[in-house]
């Protein structure tokens, strides 16, 4: 299974290959060493939760968020 990922604000594109038939957004974030509370994940122009399943050929946007003053 292959997932395409676009990382923002770096504007970097990457792809991950999984040897399993099913994975979740959390699996993707774990492989990228990204903490889930630091990003918003977008699929088909909609934000999705970390427990959402991803499928072969999915294209995700991962947007880093920051807060503070």
Which of 47, 46, 2 has the alpha carbon at shortest distance from 23?
A: 2
Domains of the chain by range and CATH? 2-64 (3.10.20.30)
Q: What is the dihedral of CA 37, 68, 5, 49, to 10 degrees?
A: 30
Provide the pLDDT for residue 69: 66
Q: For residue range 4-46, what is the model confidence (pLDDT) as tens digits? A: 999 999 999 999 999 988 899 999 999 999 999 999 999 999 9
Q: Reply yes or no on whether the pLDDT at 67 is more than 80.
A: no
To the question of pTM greater than 0.85 for the whole model, the response is yes
């Amino acid at each position: 299974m292959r997932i395409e990922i676009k990382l923002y604000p770096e504007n970097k594109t990457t792809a991950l290959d999984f040897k399993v038939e099913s994975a979740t957004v959390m699996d993707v974030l774990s492989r990228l060493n990204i903490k889930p509370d630091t990003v918003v994940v977008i699929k088909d122009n909609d934000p999705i939760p970390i427990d959402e399943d991803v499928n072969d050929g999915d294209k995700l946007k991962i947007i880093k968020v920051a807060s503070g003053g």
